[in-house]
Amino acid sequence: MISFVKKKGNNPVYVIACLLKGLRFLAHAQLRKFLLIPIIINLLLYSIAFGLAFFYMDDVTRYLLPDWLEAISWLSWLSKLLGILFFICFFLIAFFTFTILANLIASPFYGKLSERTLALLIERETPEGEEVKLPEAPPELPLMQMLYGEWLRIRYLLAWIVLLVILSLIPVLNIIAPILWALFGAWGMALEYFTYPLENRGLLFPEQKKLASSVRFGALSFGGFTVLGLMIPVVNILVSPVAVIAATISTHGISKDDEQEQPENKTVNMKKDE
């Protein structure tokens, strides 16, 4: 069983470094064949998302703003602030939905992209002249077990989405909805992209969520920067592949094998007893 190094995993500087390294890896010749189809998928889906946002965002934002705010003149500043927050909220909902859809379609390519990225990292870490030892692939999980894991992921995300949608429709309480949507978007994106490297290790959603929760601040930072990238036109086409590579770099850098460490700890304790 693996675990994450909390101090390193919760460091935002480390997260930024992984994302920048992921951007550089994007040009690597051995990764290009896994990028073309996901980029085309992203281009099509994000074009649709921007079209919907352009035509409907203003109407949705006006609908969500409480009427009593417009009636009180001295609270006009709050109305404008909430308008901006609900604007961001709508963006997060739209792009979170379209990103999950795009990643679902491109998941076979992203899984291979993560696998190949890990191989490149290990090759670079191996001293010159030594044999490159890649980790053994975990035994293939039964189909029903994999489907059950995906169902748990969908159920978890849908439960939060439903809760936040209800909260967004309740007067007064919906003032805090944009902040909660932003946090959920960041957390959801972290879970989404950590999936690929962790699933390649044979871990299903419950174990993935547990690991991400152990470095929650780092995961929120990763997801937050990813969401910001997804909101930038044109750039967002490349954000998903970069995030997959960066998540692989990040999880590889903060992973430790508990089973390998236990014998070492026992040896140290025996020496102390002597």
Q: What is the pLDDT of residues 213-272, one digit of tens each?
A: 999 999 999 999 998 887 787 787 888 899 999 999 999 999 877 555 444 444 434 344
Given a cut of 50, is residue 120 above it in pLDDT?
Answer: yes
Q: At 256, is the secondary structure helix, strand, or coil?
A: strand
| pLDDT bucket at 127, cuts 50 / 70 / 90 | confident
Question: What's the CA gap between 246 and 194, in Å, rounded?
Answer: 9
Q: Are 35 and 241 in contact (CB under 8 A)?
A: yes
Question: Please, which residues have CB within 8 angstroms of residue 36's CB and are 6 or more apart in sequence?
Answer: none
> Greater confidence, 38 or 144?
38
- Range name among 14-28, 119-133, 175-189, 256-270 with the lowest pLDDT average: 256-270
Q: Are 35 and 112 in contact (CB under 8 A)?
A: no
Average pLDDT over residues 119-125: 87
pLDDT value of position 134: 66
Q: What percent of the chain has a predicted confidence (pLDDT) above 70?
A: 71
Q: Are 255 and 2 in contact (CB under 8 A)?
A: yes
What's the pTM value of the predicted model, to 2 decimals?
A: 0.77
Determine the residue type at 233. P
pLDDT 10s digits, 49-73: 667 666 666 666 666 555 555 555 5
> Greater confidence, 134 or 185?
185
